[in-house]
Amino acid sequence: MMPSVGVVIPTRGDRPEPLRAALTGVLAQEYDGRIDVVVVADGVPGSAVARQASGVAESAAGAVRSVRVVGNHRVPGLPGARNTGISALGTDLVAFCDDDDVWLPGKLAAQVTALAGEPGAGFASCAVEVEYGDRRVPRLAGTPRVTHRHLTRSRMMMVHSSTFLFRRGWAWVDESAPAGQNEDWDLALRAARRHPIVHVDRPFVRVRWGSSHYAGRWADRIAGLEWMLARHPGLTAEPRGAARVYGQLAFCHAALGRRREAARWSLRAFSARPGEPRAAVALAVAGGLVSPRTVLHALHLRGHGI
């Protein structure tokens, strides 16, 4: 018998079409086990979200599927919404899907099989396909196991929250993450510290950029990166990873017009890794040579972030 899977989909309630697409992708999975979906309404009435989800849920009638809508009863924001969903489930496995992403056919079966093949592991991810405008770019990890060191050297955006699948009781989201920033990276680091993450390196999730609640919130990004540095001191021990975080901090400060702070973090990035490209870009933004929006647009076209 295939293990039952619970899927947590947090939503803010103002994106009905993406939510329907996310639900459709989950419910259309060809999987012989039970799938229970919990849509967590964060900051909006659950009744409104229920109306948005009802049509998709009815289309899955006859399958071993269920869809519930609950309100976030924990800390407001994404981490609390995810934990609300986890606590509402009684399934063998738990998975996440953001309301603006889409699971592609075969995702769930491939990950469950991979996780079952490694009994000591408790956490799985998969590669993604980044959709930005009319472009779709696959992002692969190049490895079947993601280690803690992998995630300190690089954020590895393909180890994305919408790819997470784990044994129930194995993981909880840290609700202290400022404005919900980097809670997924923190969770992946903690999981990989216990055991390498089982990774299916095929793009089974479409990550849709352009509608993120966090896009352009530079002060929140700064707080989230500083939270990560304080919470995971090992990030500064790996020169490449440290330079990446410092370069991101420099860019965020530059986007806010804080030239002195941008220069300070750029210097730290160059000290950790001479030639760190994010630091150079941050200095260009701070100097008014290019706008942060232009930089992000060029990167997103390639399936990358800053």
Comparing CA positions, the residue from 183, 279, 193 lying closest to residue 225 is 183
pTM above 0.85? yes
Report the alpha-carbon distance of residue 160 to residue 166 in Å, rounded.
13
The whole-number average pLDDT for the span 94-105 is: 97
Say if residue 54's pLDDT is above 60.
no
Comparing CA positions, the residue from 107, 91, 99 lying closest to residue 166 is 91
Say if residue 68's pLDDT is above 80.
yes
Contacts of 257-263 with CB under 8 Å at 24 or more apart are 258/286, 259/286, 259/287, 262/286
Q: For residue range 280-292, what is the model confidence (pLDDT) as tens digits?
A: 999 999 999 999 9
Residue 73 DSSP class: -
Say if residue 25's pLDDT is above 70.
yes
Please tell me the predicted confidence (pLDDT) of residue 15. 81
Contacts of 213-218 with CB under 8 Å at 24 or more apart are 213/12, 214/179, 214/180, 214/181, 216/255, 216/292, 217/179, 218/252, 218/253, 218/255, 218/256, 218/292
The whole-number average pLDDT for the span 268-274 is: 97
Residue 98's beta-bridge partner residues? Answer: none
> Are the beta carbons of 158 and 138 closer than 8 angstroms?
no
Please tell me the predicted confidence (pLDDT) of residue 6. 98
Q: What are the domain boundaries of the chain?
A: 5-208, 218-300
Domain 5-208 top-level CATH class:
alpha beta
> Are the beta carbons of 173 and 182 closer than 8 angstroms?
no
Say if residue 56's pLDDT is above 50.
yes
> Are the beta carbons of 159 and 188 closer than 8 angstroms?
yes
The whole-number average pLDDT for the span 256-271 is: 98
Please tell me the predicted confidence (pLDDT) of residue 45. 62
Report the alpha-carbon distance of residue 270 to residue 198 in Å, rounded.
33
Q: Is the dihedral of CA 98, 104, 106, 110 positive or negative?
A: negative
Please tell me the predicted confidence (pLDDT) of residue 61. 46
In a 10 Å sphere around its CB, with 0-12 CB exposed, 13-18 middle and 19+ buried, how is residue 165 labelled?
Answer: buried
Please tell me the predicted confidence (pLDDT) of residue 119. 87
Report the alpha-carbon distance of residue 212 to residue 220 in Å, rounded.
13
Q: Is the dihedral of CA 282, 288, 293, 297 positive or negative?
A: negative
Q: For residue range 111-141, what is the model confidence (pLDDT) as tens digits?
A: 999 999 998 999 999 999 999 999 999 999 9
Please tell me the predicted confidence (pLDDT) of residue 57. 55
Please tell me the predicted confidence (pLDDT) of residue 43. 75
Q: For residue range 137-187, what is the model confidence (pLDDT) as tens digits?
A: 999 999 999 999 999 999 999 999 999 999 998 999 999 999 999 999 999
In a 10 Å sphere around its CB, with 0-12 CB exposed, 13-18 middle and 19+ buried, how is residue 68 labelled?
Answer: middle
Mean pLDDT, all residues of the chain: 92
What's the pLDDT band for 59 if we cut at 50, 70, 90?
A: low
The percentage of the chain sitting over the pLDDT mark of 70, rounded to a whole number, equals 92
Enumerate residues 6+ apart whose C-beta is below 8 A from 216: 255, 292
